[in-house]
Protein backbone atom coordinates (compact mmCIF):
# COMPACT_ATOMS: atom_id res chain seq x y z
CA UNK A 1 0.00 0.00 0.00
CA UNK A 2 3.04 2.27 0.05
CA UNK A 3 2.30 3.60 -3.42
CA UNK A 4 -1.31 4.42 -2.73
CA UNK A 5 -0.93 6.89 0.12
CA UNK A 6 -1.78 10.51 -0.45
CA UNK A 7 1.89 11.29 -1.15
CA UNK A 8 2.63 8.20 -3.24
CA UNK A 9 3.05 8.07 -6.98
CA UNK A 10 -0.64 7.29 -7.48
CA UNK A 11 -1.92 8.88 -4.27
CA UNK A 12 -3.38 11.98 -5.91
CA UNK A 13 -5.24 9.79 -8.39
CA UNK A 14 -6.64 7.01 -6.24
CA UNK A 15 -6.27 8.45 -2.74
CA UNK A 16 -7.94 11.81 -3.32
CA UNK A 17 -10.29 13.13 -0.65
CA UNK A 18 -10.41 12.85 3.10
CA UNK A 19 -10.81 9.10 3.54
CA UNK A 20 -8.00 7.81 5.71
CA UNK A 21 -7.18 4.11 5.49
CA UNK A 22 -3.39 4.11 5.50
CA UNK A 23 -0.98 2.75 8.08
CA UNK A 24 -1.19 5.75 10.41
CA UNK A 25 -4.98 5.74 10.26
CA UNK A 26 -5.09 2.04 11.09
CA UNK A 27 -2.63 2.49 13.95
CA UNK A 28 -4.57 5.34 15.51
CA UNK A 29 -7.86 3.47 15.19
CA UNK A 30 -6.38 0.46 17.00
CA UNK A 31 -4.94 2.72 19.69
CA UNK A 32 -8.29 4.47 20.04
CA UNK A 33 -9.86 1.06 20.63
CA UNK A 34 -7.30 0.07 23.26
CA UNK A 35 -7.75 3.42 25.02
CA UNK A 36 -11.53 3.12 24.99
CA UNK A 37 -11.26 -0.38 26.42
CA UNK A 38 -9.13 0.92 29.30
CA UNK A 39 -11.73 3.60 30.03
CA UNK A 40 -14.57 1.05 29.85
CA UNK A 41 -12.78 -1.27 32.28
CA UNK A 42 -12.32 1.63 34.70
CA UNK A 43 -15.97 2.67 34.42
CA UNK A 44 -16.95 -0.94 35.18
CA UNK A 45 -14.94 -0.76 38.38
CA UNK A 46 -12.42 -3.36 37.22
CA UNK A 47 -9.34 -1.12 37.29
CA UNK A 48 -8.12 1.70 39.53
CA UNK A 49 -9.19 5.29 38.90
CA UNK A 50 -7.01 7.11 36.38
CA UNK A 51 -5.86 4.09 34.43
CA UNK A 52 -8.16 4.85 31.51
CA UNK A 53 -6.77 8.40 31.23
CA UNK A 54 -3.18 7.16 31.41
CA UNK A 55 -3.71 4.70 28.55
CA UNK A 56 -5.59 7.29 26.50
CA UNK A 57 -2.77 9.82 26.85
CA UNK A 58 -0.22 7.26 25.68
CA UNK A 59 -2.30 6.02 22.75
CA UNK A 60 -1.06 8.45 20.12
CA UNK A 61 0.09 7.03 16.79
CA UNK A 62 3.06 9.37 16.41
CA UNK A 63 4.69 7.69 19.42
CA UNK A 64 4.95 4.33 17.65
CA UNK A 65 7.19 2.93 14.93
CA UNK A 66 4.87 1.58 12.25
CA UNK A 67 7.66 -0.23 10.42
CA UNK A 68 8.79 -2.00 13.57
CA UNK A 69 5.24 -3.05 14.40
CA UNK A 70 4.89 -4.39 10.88
CA UNK A 71 8.02 -6.48 11.18
CA UNK A 72 6.89 -7.94 14.49
CA UNK A 73 3.45 -8.69 13.01
CA UNK A 74 5.06 -11.41 10.92
CA UNK A 75 5.64 -13.39 14.11
CA UNK A 76 1.98 -13.41 15.20
CA UNK A 77 0.01 -12.96 11.98
CA UNK A 78 -1.28 -9.50 12.91
CA UNK A 79 0.14 -6.31 14.44
CA UNK A 80 -1.91 -6.20 17.67
CA UNK A 81 0.36 -8.23 20.00
CA UNK A 82 3.33 -6.03 19.14
CA UNK A 83 1.20 -2.90 19.53
CA UNK A 84 -0.01 -4.02 22.95
CA UNK A 85 3.56 -4.54 24.12
CA UNK A 86 4.68 -1.21 22.71
CA UNK A 87 1.76 0.60 24.35
CA UNK A 88 2.35 -1.10 27.70
CA UNK A 89 6.01 -0.10 27.62
CA UNK A 90 4.98 3.56 27.67
CA UNK A 91 2.93 3.16 30.86
CA UNK A 92 3.72 2.86 34.57
CA UNK A 93 3.09 -0.40 36.40
CA UNK A 94 -0.61 0.09 37.23
CA UNK A 95 -2.00 1.23 33.87
CA UNK A 96 0.34 -1.18 32.07
CA UNK A 97 -1.63 -4.12 33.45
CA UNK A 98 -4.91 -2.70 32.08
CA UNK A 99 -3.91 -2.64 28.41
CA UNK A 100 -5.86 -5.13 26.26
CA UNK A 101 -7.50 -6.81 29.26
CA UNK A 102 -10.19 -9.26 28.19
CA UNK A 103 -9.63 -8.62 24.48
CA UNK A 104 -8.25 -10.61 21.60
CA UNK A 105 -6.44 -9.28 18.53
CA UNK A 106 -9.54 -9.57 16.37
CA UNK A 107 -11.50 -7.38 18.79
CA UNK A 108 -9.02 -4.57 18.26
CA UNK A 109 -8.69 -4.90 14.50
CA UNK A 110 -12.41 -5.34 13.81
CA UNK A 111 -13.33 -2.41 16.04
CA UNK A 112 -10.61 -0.28 14.47
CA UNK A 113 -12.06 -1.18 11.09
CA UNK A 114 -15.47 0.04 12.24
CA UNK A 115 -13.91 3.34 13.34
CA UNK A 116 -12.16 3.69 9.99
CA UNK A 117 -15.43 2.93 8.23
CA UNK A 118 -17.30 5.60 10.18
CA UNK A 119 -14.69 8.22 9.35
CA UNK A 120 -14.66 7.09 5.73
CA UNK A 121 -18.44 7.27 5.45
CA UNK A 122 -18.41 10.80 6.88
CA UNK A 123 -15.82 11.92 4.33
CA UNK A 124 -17.49 10.12 1.43
CA UNK A 125 -20.89 11.53 2.33
CA UNK A 126 -19.56 15.09 2.36
CA UNK A 127 -18.27 14.69 -1.20
CA UNK A 128 -21.43 12.89 -2.31
CA UNK A 129 -23.53 15.74 -0.95
CA UNK A 130 -21.46 18.25 -2.91
CA UNK A 131 -21.87 16.13 -6.04
CA UNK A 132 -25.62 15.77 -5.44
CA UNK A 133 -26.08 19.49 -4.92
CA UNK A 134 -24.32 20.19 -8.19
CA UNK A 135 -26.41 17.55 -9.99
CA UNK A 136 -29.52 19.26 -8.58
CA UNK A 137 -28.31 22.60 -9.91
CA UNK A 138 -27.73 21.07 -13.35
CA UNK A 139 -31.22 19.54 -13.28
CA UNK A 140 -32.73 22.96 -12.56
CA UNK A 141 -30.59 24.87 -15.04
CA UNK A 142 -31.14 22.43 -17.88
CA UNK A 143 -34.71 21.33 -17.31
CA UNK A 144 -35.53 22.50 -20.85
CA UNK A 145 -32.22 21.68 -22.56
CA UNK A 146 -33.29 19.12 -25.14
CA UNK A 147 -30.88 16.39 -26.18
CA UNK A 148 -30.96 12.98 -27.77
CA UNK A 149 -31.84 10.12 -25.51
CA UNK A 150 -29.65 7.16 -26.30
CA UNK A 151 -30.41 3.46 -25.89
CA UNK A 152 -27.90 0.77 -26.87
CA UNK A 153 -25.65 3.77 -27.77
CA UNK A 154 -28.04 4.81 -30.56
CA UNK A 155 -30.27 7.89 -30.63
CA UNK A 156 -33.70 7.18 -29.16
CA UNK A 157 -36.50 9.58 -28.24
CA UNK A 158 -35.43 13.01 -26.96
CA UNK A 159 -34.84 13.76 -23.31
CA UNK A 160 -33.55 16.83 -21.50
CA UNK A 161 -30.16 17.17 -19.91
CA UNK A 162 -32.04 18.21 -16.80
CA UNK A 163 -33.60 14.76 -16.67
CA UNK A 164 -30.18 13.13 -17.10
CA UNK A 165 -28.84 15.19 -14.20
CA UNK A 166 -31.93 14.37 -12.15
CA UNK A 167 -31.19 10.69 -12.69
CA UNK A 168 -27.66 11.22 -11.41
CA UNK A 169 -29.04 13.13 -8.44
CA UNK A 170 -31.52 10.46 -7.41
CA UNK A 171 -28.91 7.71 -7.64
CA UNK A 172 -26.44 9.67 -5.50
CA UNK A 173 -29.11 10.39 -2.91
CA UNK A 174 -30.06 6.73 -2.72
CA UNK A 175 -26.42 5.74 -2.27
CA UNK A 176 -26.10 8.32 0.50
CA UNK A 177 -29.17 6.91 2.22
CA UNK A 178 -27.67 3.42 2.24
CA UNK A 179 -24.41 4.73 3.67
CA UNK A 180 -26.36 6.58 6.35
CA UNK A 181 -28.21 3.39 7.25
CA UNK A 182 -24.92 1.53 7.59
CA UNK A 183 -23.41 4.29 9.68
CA UNK A 184 -26.41 4.44 12.01
CA UNK A 185 -26.85 0.74 12.70
CA UNK A 186 -24.25 -1.32 10.86
CA UNK A 187 -21.04 -0.27 12.57
CA UNK A 188 -20.73 -2.23 15.79
CA UNK A 189 -18.02 -2.72 18.35
CA UNK A 190 -16.28 -6.08 18.42
CA UNK A 191 -15.49 -7.45 21.87
CA UNK A 192 -15.61 -11.17 22.52
CA UNK A 193 -12.24 -12.17 23.88
CA UNK A 194 -10.45 -15.36 22.95
CA UNK A 195 -13.43 -17.27 21.53
CA UNK A 196 -16.40 -14.96 21.84
CA UNK A 197 -17.29 -15.70 25.46
CA UNK A 198 -15.48 -12.86 27.30
CA UNK A 199 -14.59 -15.49 29.90
CA UNK A 200 -11.55 -13.48 31.03
CA UNK A 201 -13.87 -10.80 32.44
CA UNK A 202 -16.33 -13.15 34.09
CA UNK A 203 -19.82 -11.76 34.64
CA UNK A 204 -18.59 -8.21 33.87
CA UNK A 205 -17.94 -9.03 30.21
CA UNK A 206 -21.26 -7.84 28.74
CA UNK A 207 -21.11 -4.66 30.83
CA UNK A 208 -17.63 -3.83 29.58
CA UNK A 209 -18.73 -4.52 25.99
CA UNK A 210 -21.60 -2.07 26.39
CA UNK A 211 -19.35 0.55 27.94
CA UNK A 212 -16.78 0.08 25.17
CA UNK A 213 -19.46 0.61 22.53
CA UNK A 214 -20.53 3.79 24.29
CA UNK A 215 -16.96 5.08 24.57
CA UNK A 216 -16.45 4.67 20.83
CA UNK A 217 -19.92 5.69 19.70
CA UNK A 218 -20.47 2.35 17.95
CA UNK A 219 -23.46 0.06 18.10
CA UNK A 220 -23.50 -2.75 20.66
CA UNK A 221 -24.14 -6.05 18.86
CA UNK A 222 -26.25 -8.83 20.33
CA UNK A 223 -23.10 -10.93 20.66
CA UNK A 224 -19.56 -10.90 19.23
CA UNK A 225 -19.42 -11.32 15.47
CA UNK A 226 -15.94 -12.81 15.02
CA UNK A 227 -16.96 -15.19 12.25
CA UNK A 228 -20.29 -13.64 11.26
CA UNK A 229 -19.06 -11.31 8.53
CA UNK A 230 -22.40 -10.14 7.15
CA UNK A 231 -21.68 -6.77 8.77
CA UNK A 232 -18.57 -6.43 6.60
CA UNK A 233 -20.43 -7.50 3.47
CA UNK A 234 -23.19 -4.93 4.03
CA UNK A 235 -20.63 -2.17 4.47
CA UNK A 236 -18.70 -3.28 1.40
CA UNK A 237 -21.89 -3.55 -0.66
CA UNK A 238 -22.88 0.01 0.29
CA UNK A 239 -19.45 1.26 -0.76
CA UNK A 240 -19.62 -0.70 -4.01
CA UNK A 241 -23.07 0.79 -4.59
CA UNK A 242 -21.59 4.27 -4.31
CA UNK A 243 -18.95 3.27 -6.85
CA UNK A 244 -21.62 1.93 -9.20
CA UNK A 245 -23.51 5.24 -9.08
CA UNK A 246 -20.41 7.37 -9.57
CA UNK A 247 -19.09 5.09 -12.31
CA UNK A 248 -22.33 5.48 -14.27
CA UNK A 249 -22.09 9.28 -14.07
CA UNK A 250 -18.46 9.25 -15.13
CA UNK A 251 -19.21 6.90 -18.02
CA UNK A 252 -22.00 9.20 -19.23
CA UNK A 253 -19.57 12.11 -19.16
CA UNK A 254 -16.87 10.27 -21.11
CA UNK A 255 -19.40 9.30 -23.77
CA UNK A 256 -20.95 12.76 -24.06
CA UNK A 257 -17.49 14.37 -24.12
CA UNK A 258 -16.29 12.40 -27.15
CA UNK A 259 -15.07 14.69 -29.93
CA UNK A 260 -17.81 13.55 -32.30
CA UNK A 261 -20.49 14.19 -29.64
CA UNK A 262 -19.11 17.21 -27.78
CA UNK A 263 -22.17 17.76 -25.58
CA UNK A 264 -20.29 18.15 -22.30
CA UNK A 265 -16.73 18.95 -21.28
CA UNK A 266 -14.76 19.14 -18.07
CA UNK A 267 -13.28 22.39 -16.86
CA UNK A 268 -9.54 22.17 -17.33
CA UNK A 269 -9.00 23.57 -13.83
CA UNK A 270 -5.33 23.23 -13.00
CA UNK A 271 -2.91 24.09 -15.78
CA UNK A 272 -2.26 21.06 -17.92
CA UNK A 273 -5.20 18.96 -16.71
CA UNK A 274 -6.62 16.98 -19.57
CA UNK A 275 -3.46 17.17 -21.64
CA UNK A 276 -1.74 14.32 -23.45
CA UNK A 277 1.93 13.37 -23.44
CA UNK A 278 1.83 12.96 -27.22
CA UNK A 279 -1.10 15.01 -28.60
CA UNK A 280 -1.07 18.73 -27.72
CA UNK A 281 -4.65 19.26 -28.86
CA UNK A 282 -6.19 16.79 -26.42
CA UNK A 283 -8.55 17.85 -23.62
CA UNK A 284 -9.23 14.57 -21.88
CA UNK A 285 -12.03 14.18 -19.29
CA UNK A 286 -9.51 13.42 -16.55
CA UNK A 287 -11.83 13.57 -13.55
CA UNK A 288 -14.32 11.18 -15.17
CA UNK A 289 -11.52 8.83 -16.21
CA UNK A 290 -10.12 8.74 -12.67
CA UNK A 291 -13.56 8.11 -11.19
CA UNK A 292 -13.77 5.09 -13.46
CA UNK A 293 -10.25 4.07 -12.52
CA UNK A 294 -11.40 3.90 -8.91
CA UNK A 295 -14.86 2.41 -9.39
CA UNK A 296 -13.80 -0.38 -11.77
CA UNK A 297 -11.87 -1.98 -8.90
CA UNK A 298 -14.83 -2.05 -6.50
CA UNK A 299 -16.55 -5.23 -7.81
CA UNK A 300 -13.40 -7.30 -7.37
CA UNK A 301 -12.85 -6.00 -3.85
CA UNK A 302 -16.47 -6.70 -2.96
CA UNK A 303 -16.11 -10.19 -4.39
CA UNK A 304 -13.03 -10.84 -2.24
CA UNK A 305 -14.87 -9.72 0.89
CA UNK A 306 -17.89 -11.86 0.05
CA UNK A 307 -15.63 -14.87 -0.48
CA UNK A 308 -13.85 -14.18 2.81
CA UNK A 309 -17.13 -14.26 4.73
CA UNK A 310 -17.00 -18.05 4.98
CA UNK A 311 -15.00 -18.38 8.19
CA UNK A 312 -14.20 -21.36 10.39
CA UNK A 313 -15.54 -21.92 13.90
CA UNK A 314 -14.65 -19.05 16.28
CA UNK A 315 -11.70 -17.54 14.35
CA UNK A 316 -10.88 -17.68 10.66
CA UNK A 317 -7.59 -18.99 9.32
CA UNK A 318 -6.79 -16.50 6.60
CA UNK A 319 -10.22 -15.25 5.52
CA UNK A 320 -10.35 -12.61 8.27
CA UNK A 321 -6.82 -11.52 7.37
CA UNK A 322 -7.87 -11.08 3.72
CA UNK A 323 -10.39 -8.44 4.73
CA UNK A 324 -8.08 -5.81 6.21
CA UNK A 325 -6.40 -4.29 3.18
CA UNK A 326 -9.28 -5.23 0.89
CA UNK A 327 -11.86 -3.20 2.80
CA UNK A 328 -9.36 -0.40 3.41
CA UNK A 329 -8.73 -0.24 -0.35
CA UNK A 330 -12.45 -0.19 -1.06
CA UNK A 331 -12.97 2.69 1.37
CA UNK A 332 -10.04 4.62 -0.07
CA UNK A 333 -11.11 4.13 -3.69
CA UNK A 334 -14.74 4.99 -2.93
CA UNK A 335 -13.58 8.14 -1.17
CA UNK A 336 -11.37 9.07 -4.09
CA UNK A 337 -14.19 8.47 -6.58
CA UNK A 338 -16.55 10.63 -4.50
CA UNK A 339 -14.01 13.44 -4.30
CA UNK A 340 -13.30 13.31 -8.03
CA UNK A 341 -17.05 13.21 -8.75
CA UNK A 342 -17.67 16.38 -6.75
CA UNK A 343 -14.93 18.09 -8.75
CA UNK A 344 -16.24 16.65 -12.01
CA UNK A 345 -19.80 17.88 -11.57
CA UNK A 346 -18.78 21.25 -10.17
CA UNK A 347 -16.78 21.97 -13.32
CA UNK A 348 -18.94 20.25 -15.93
CA UNK A 349 -19.63 22.46 -18.96
CA UNK A 350 -22.83 21.84 -20.91
CA UNK A 351 -22.99 22.58 -24.64
CA UNK A 352 -26.73 22.96 -25.19
CA UNK A 353 -26.26 24.12 -28.77
CA UNK A 354 -24.27 20.98 -29.62
CA UNK A 355 -26.95 18.83 -27.99
CA UNK A 356 -29.57 20.41 -30.25
CA UNK A 357 -27.42 20.08 -33.38
CA UNK A 358 -26.79 16.40 -32.73
CA UNK A 359 -30.48 15.79 -32.26
CA UNK A 360 -31.44 17.81 -35.33
CA UNK A 361 -28.86 15.95 -37.41
CA UNK A 362 -31.08 12.88 -37.13
CA UNK A 363 -33.74 14.76 -39.18
CA UNK A 364 -36.71 13.72 -37.12
CA UNK A 365 -35.99 10.00 -36.94
CA UNK A 366 -35.83 9.93 -33.11
CA UNK A 367 -39.44 11.16 -33.15
CA UNK A 368 -40.70 8.25 -35.26
CA UNK A 369 -42.61 6.90 -32.27
CA UNK A 370 -44.44 10.22 -31.91
CA UNK A 371 -45.18 10.40 -35.63
CA UNK A 372 -46.67 6.90 -35.43
CA UNK A 373 -48.94 8.02 -32.60
CA UNK A 374 -50.07 11.05 -34.65
CA UNK A 375 -50.88 8.90 -37.69
CA UNK A 376 -52.52 6.03 -35.80
CA UNK A 377 -56.03 7.57 -35.46
CA UNK A 378 -56.24 8.00 -39.24
CA UNK A 379 -54.42 4.87 -40.40
CA UNK A 380 -54.63 2.41 -37.54
CA UNK A 381 -51.76 1.72 -35.14
CA UNK A 382 -50.16 -1.23 -36.93
CA UNK A 383 -50.47 0.33 -40.39
CA UNK A 384 -49.05 3.59 -39.10
CA UNK A 385 -46.14 1.74 -37.51
CA UNK A 386 -45.28 -0.11 -40.72
CA UNK A 387 -45.53 3.03 -42.86
CA UNK A 388 -43.32 5.06 -40.54
CA UNK A 389 -40.80 2.20 -40.38
CA UNK A 390 -40.65 2.10 -44.18
CA UNK A 391 -40.36 5.89 -44.37
CA UNK A 392 -37.59 5.83 -41.78
CA UNK A 393 -35.62 3.32 -43.83
CA UNK A 394 -36.12 5.46 -46.93
CA UNK A 395 -35.01 8.58 -45.05
CA UNK A 396 -31.75 6.90 -44.07
CA UNK A 397 -31.16 5.49 -47.56
CA UNK A 398 -31.86 8.78 -49.37
CA UNK A 399 -30.38 11.01 -46.63
CA UNK A 400 -33.55 13.02 -46.18
CA UNK A 401 -35.73 13.92 -43.21
CA UNK A 402 -38.54 11.74 -41.90
CA UNK A 403 -41.21 14.27 -42.89
CA UNK A 404 -39.86 14.44 -46.44
CA UNK A 405 -39.80 10.65 -46.65
CA UNK A 406 -43.43 10.41 -45.55
CA UNK A 407 -44.63 13.09 -47.95
CA UNK A 408 -42.52 11.69 -50.77
CA UNK A 409 -44.96 8.82 -51.11
CA UNK A 410 -47.80 10.29 -53.17
CA UNK A 411 -50.41 7.77 -52.05
CA UNK A 412 -49.50 8.17 -48.39
CA UNK A 413 -49.39 11.96 -48.68
CA UNK A 414 -52.88 11.91 -50.19
CA UNK A 415 -54.21 9.67 -47.43
CA UNK A 416 -52.68 11.89 -44.78
CA UNK A 417 -54.09 15.03 -46.38
CA UNK A 418 -57.54 13.45 -46.37
CA UNK A 419 -57.09 12.93 -42.62
CA UNK A 420 -56.04 16.54 -42.11
CA UNK A 421 -52.36 15.71 -41.66
CA UNK A 422 -49.96 17.76 -43.76
CA UNK A 423 -46.44 19.17 -43.55
CA UNK A 424 -47.27 21.44 -40.61
CA UNK A 425 -48.66 18.60 -38.52
CA UNK A 426 -45.71 16.33 -39.34
CA UNK A 427 -43.19 19.05 -38.57
CA UNK A 428 -44.89 19.56 -35.20
CA UNK A 429 -44.72 15.83 -34.55
CA UNK A 430 -40.94 15.75 -35.09
CA UNK A 431 -40.29 18.75 -32.85
CA UNK A 432 -38.36 17.39 -29.84
CA UNK A 433 -40.10 19.71 -27.37
CA UNK A 434 -43.41 18.09 -28.26
CA UNK A 435 -42.37 14.65 -27.00
CA UNK A 436 -40.71 14.94 -23.62
CA UNK A 437 -43.37 13.08 -21.69
CA UNK A 438 -43.10 13.37 -17.92
CA UNK A 439 -39.55 14.75 -17.95
CA UNK A 440 -40.55 17.94 -16.12
CA UNK A 441 -42.45 16.03 -13.44
CA UNK A 442 -39.60 13.58 -12.91
CA UNK A 443 -37.15 16.45 -12.47
CA UNK A 444 -39.53 18.05 -9.98
CA UNK A 445 -39.73 14.80 -8.00
CA UNK A 446 -35.96 14.35 -7.94
CA UNK A 447 -35.44 17.89 -6.68
CA UNK A 448 -38.15 17.51 -4.07
CA UNK A 449 -36.67 14.26 -2.79
CA UNK A 450 -33.21 15.81 -2.63
CA UNK A 451 -34.43 18.91 -0.82
CA UNK A 452 -36.31 16.89 1.79
CA UNK A 453 -39.39 17.99 3.71
CA UNK A 454 -37.93 21.30 4.86
CA UNK A 455 -36.73 22.50 1.48
CA UNK A 456 -39.23 20.87 -0.83
CA UNK A 457 -41.32 23.99 -1.35
CA UNK A 458 -38.30 25.94 -2.52
CA UNK A 459 -36.55 23.30 -4.60
CA UNK A 460 -39.42 21.24 -6.05
CA UNK A 461 -40.61 23.86 -8.47
CA UNK A 462 -42.02 22.94 -11.84
CA UNK A 463 -39.49 23.17 -14.72
CA UNK A 464 -40.51 24.92 -17.86
CA UNK A 465 -39.68 27.83 -20.17
CA UNK A 466 -36.05 27.86 -19.09
CA UNK A 467 -36.70 28.15 -15.37
CA UNK A 468 -38.33 26.39 -12.48
CA UNK A 469 -41.58 28.07 -11.48
Active site residues: 276, 315
Q: Phi then psi for 214, rounded to 5 degrees?
A: -65, -40
Alpha helices in 257-380 (DSSP H): 286-295, 298-308, 319-346, 352-360, 368-379
Closest CA to 254 of 239, 272, 274: 274
Q: State the alpha helices, DSSP H only, in 77-204.
A: 80-89, 93-96, 105-141, 161-181
HSE, side-chain direction, 13 A CA sphere, residue 30: 30
DSSP label at 185?
Answer: I
Contact 337, 124 (CB under 8 A): no
The candidate with the shortest Cα–Cα distance to 134, out of 177, 176, 169, is 169
Number of C-beta neighbours around residue 394 at 10 A: 16
Give dist(CA 188, CA 280) in Å, integer.
Answer: 52
Residue 229 has phi, psi (to 5 degrees) of -100, 20
Angle between helices 205-216 and 23-43 (to 10 degrees): 130
Radius of gyration of the chain (CA): 30
The candidate with the shortest Cα–Cα distance to 121, out of 247, 245, 236, is 236
Which residues lie closer than 8 Å to 222 by C-beta, 6 or more apart? none
**Is residue 31 within a helix (H) or strand (E), and if so which, with residue range?**
helix 23-43
Q: Which residues contact 57 (CB under 8 A, 6 or more apart)?
A: none
Question: What is the crossing angle of helices 105-141 and 230-256, to 10°?
Answer: 30
Strands (DSSP E) found in 200-338 = 264-266
Choose among 375, 390, 455, 466: nearest CA to 422.
Answer: 375
Chain centroid to Cα 14, Å, comes to 14
**C-beta separation of 133 from 140 below 8 A:** no
Amino acid sequence: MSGTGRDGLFGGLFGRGAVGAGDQDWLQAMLDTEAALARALERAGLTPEGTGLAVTQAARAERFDVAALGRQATLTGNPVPALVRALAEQLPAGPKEVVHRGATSQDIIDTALMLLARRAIDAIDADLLAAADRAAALAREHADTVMAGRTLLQQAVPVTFGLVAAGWLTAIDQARSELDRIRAAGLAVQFGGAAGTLAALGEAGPQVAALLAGELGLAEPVLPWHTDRTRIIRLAAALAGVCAVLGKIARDVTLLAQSEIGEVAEESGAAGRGGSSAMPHKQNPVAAVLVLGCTRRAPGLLGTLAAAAEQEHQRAAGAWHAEWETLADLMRLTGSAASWSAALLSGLRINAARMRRNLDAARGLPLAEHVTAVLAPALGRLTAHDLVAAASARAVEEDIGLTAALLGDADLASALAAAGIGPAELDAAVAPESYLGASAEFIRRALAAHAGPDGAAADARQPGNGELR
